[in-house]
Structure 1
């Protein structure tokens, strides 16, 4: 895992893959993922996972008052089930903890049961909307104490 510029070619390719999957499931008004430029502007700590030099997954987090928010967790389809996503989430949780963050939150979608299951297996529990998120029937909000 390496901290990476979200505008690097590998990061942009992974973000594009994430966006393609999300746009196939959700209309634009139900997608709240940061754009690559927002990942930079909001000072997100962004990481890319590489296996044998190939970028296979990405994830970041933004720090807010009292919590951090997980952003853009994505693993290439061929990397799913290999531990890439688990290593990414552990990396960002460790990095956030090292910054003094004690709570990680996230928003995912109701039509993404694999993601909800993954987050649940990693200790995240459901909660209501937070931050600037609207009440939205397609959103699932979760959090985990770090």
Structure 2
């Protein structure tokens, strides 16, 4: 059984998962993904950091939303250690529901074309490709997605 709950982005569990994600991104894309995310950006009442935990209470995944505009949130740092199936889906469902409850109408995200597992995951979950936004404009290696929450 997987549970997802709001958590402290500065906790040791969160730090461990962020570092695992960064290492995996560096292996896949050549970049660790830290350029456009710092834990400090989670210090906002319209931001949310969550951890997925297994039945033993071990943190096995993480994810976040943070504001882009009043009505649009950005999905960040989605990661599963793959120790159990369904972690990504549990995280995504929780974050989408939370974003909607927080008043967001849309979620946007960026990943890399080369990260096929992520691209396929988001497409399977109803995200559509959009023009690159913000810091990803002009970055050919980036692919951006959006999903309406209504």
Whether the TM-score (by the shorter chain) exceeds 0.5 is yes
Q: Are the structure 2 counterparts of residues 124 and 76 from structure 1 closer, same or farther at C-alpha, using a change threshold of 3 Å? A: same
Pair 1:134 & 2:137 matched: yes
Q: Are the structure 2 counterparts of residues 95 and 42 from structure 1 closer, same or farther at C-alpha, using a change threshold of 3 Å? A: closer
Shift of 1:63: 1.5
**Alpha-carbon distance in 2 for matches of 1:14, 1:30:** 13
Alignment-derived partner of residue 54 in structure 2: 51
Report if the CA contact (8 A) 2:106-2:147 is conserved.
yes
Runs of 4+ aligned residues of structure 1 deviating over 4 Å after TM superposition are: 29-33
Deviations 1:68-108 (A, max 9, x none): 000000000323xx111101001010001001111000000
Aligned to 2:138, the other structure's residue is in SS state coil
5 Å-filtered alignment, 1:1-146, equals 1-28=4-31, 32-40=35-43, 44-52=47-55, 53-65=57-69, 66-79=71-84, 82-146=85-149
Aligned to 2:135, the other structure's residue is in SS state coil
Unpaired runs of at least 5, structure 2: none
Aligned to 1:77, the other structure's residue is in SS state coil
**Alpha-carbon distance in 2 for matches of 1:74, 1:3:** 15
TM-score scaled by length of structure 1: 0.89
Report if the CA contact (8 A) 1:61-1:92 is conserved.
yes
TM-score scaled by length of structure 2: 0.87
**Alpha-carbon distance in 2 for matches of 1:78, 1:29:** 21
Q: Are the structure 2 counterparts of residues 8 and 118 from structure 1 closer, same or farther at C-alpha, using a change threshold of 3 Å? A: same
Report if the CA contact (8 A) 1:33-1:71 is conserved.
no
Aligned to 1:78, the other structure's residue is in SS state coil
Unpaired runs of at least 5, structure 1: none
